[in-house]
Amino acid sequence: MSAASRKPVVYIVSDSIGETAEFVVKAVASQFDSEDMEVRRVPFVSDAAKLMEVIEEAAQSNSMIAYTLVLPELRRLVEQEAAKRNIPTADIMGPALDAFARIMNKEPYLEPGRVRRLDEDYFRRMAAVEFAVKYDDGKDPRGLRHADLVLIGVSRTSKTPLSMYLAHRRLLVANLPLIPEVEPPEELFWISPEKIVGLMIDPELLRAIRQERLNSLGFDRQANYASMERIKLELDYARRIMDRIGCAVFDVSNKAVEEVANQIVQMIKGG
């Protein structure tokens, strides 16, 4: 039986998992009788030896090779060796890479699997954001043990904004308010002090922030929440808890969230 009379086989060759090439192949196959065609995906092809194995196998049947390979030397190898064996090829990524290079006026990274890593990075960020929301403001102290970082401090010391900002840096962050009348959960003392950051602030600044908060909610600016006596009581209590834990302490007075977050990240990295 001649090669042309056999059931066609499309080899999908990729230096990553091959999803892009398979999607394109199936879209094209829908214009034919695709049930009469076999698709064989060959992922994570990163060297010439593996590529030649696929080419030799393809040469034994009525086949074509559709590929997404970012390395130019592998793309050239496919074209040269497939041509010798009369195997049709479809370079799915190469022409797009060349076109992008022209309009971007720069060379591509040529890193196999880069889009998958970018996707993984995105999902890690989203998971961190969900974690920050779930364990915000001490909602569930069980989350403290699973956090990369725990922020503690009195009300209005930027715990939540910092948690969200750091979540976008892919850190799992929980935060916990320190209130004199409420004993901190025992979980706070189970975790390493190195994973805890205390947030302190100038009393006068905190008073102004709290007064503005009360005003925005339609409450009396002179309420106990914004009194200097209450603020000093809370800050003294917070300092005692932080000293008891032995954690790092950052002063957030007149500092942007980004500035404090970057300082925390540098500390975590050992910088």
Are residues 37 and 9 in contact, defined by beta-carbon separation less than 8 angstroms?
yes
Q: How confident is the model at residue 67 (pLDDT cuts 50, 70, 90)?
A: very high
Locate tokens 């040529």: which residue?
110
- Higher-confidence position of 46 and 81: 81
Q: What does the pLDDT look like over 3-60, one tens digit per residue?
A: 444 789 999 998 888 888 888 888 888 888 767 788 999 988 889 999 999 999 999 9
Within a 10 A sphere around the Cβ of 85, how many other Cβ atoms?
12
What pLDDT does residue 114 have?
64
Give the mean model confidence (pLDDT) for residues 239-262: 96
Within a 10 A sphere around the Cβ of 243, how many other Cβ atoms?
11
Are residues 188 and 152 in contact, defined by beta-carbon separation less than 8 angstroms?
yes
What pLDDT does residue 3 have?
43
CATH numbers and ranges of domains, the chain: 3-112 (3.40.50.2300), 115-268 (3.40.50)
- Higher-confidence position of 33 and 99: 99
Instruction: Tell which residue, 211, 215, 214, 250, has the closest CA to residue 228.
Output: 211
pTM value?
A: 0.61
Q: How confident is the model at residue 112 (pLDDT cuts 50, 70, 90)?
A: low
What pLDDT does residue 113 have?
64
Give the mean model confidence (pLDDT) for residues 207-236: 90
What pLDDT does residue 117 have?
61
What pLDDT does residue 146 have?
94
What pLDDT does residue 199 have?
98
Distance CA 69, CA 21 (A): 10
Percent of the chain with pLDDT over 90: 61
Percent of the chain with pLDDT over 70: 93
What pLDDT does residue 37 have?
85
What pLDDT does residue 118 have?
56
Q: Output the average pLDDT for the chain.
A: 89
Residues 6+ apart with CB under 8 A from 177: 137, 138, 152, 153, 154, 155, 159
Q: What does the pLDDT look like over 123-172, one tens digit per residue?
A: 788 889 999 999 999 999 999 999 999 999 999 999 999 999 999 999 99
Residues, the chain: 271
Question: What are the backbone angles phi and psi of residue 207, rounded to the nearest 5°?
Answer: -60, -45
Give the mean model confidence (pLDDT) for residues 214-237: 90
Locate tokens 């090439």: which residue?
21
Whether residue 271 is predicted with pLDDT greater than 70 in this model: the reply is no
What pLDDT does residue 105 have?
86
Whether residue 213 is predicted with pLDDT greater than 70 in this model: the reply is yes
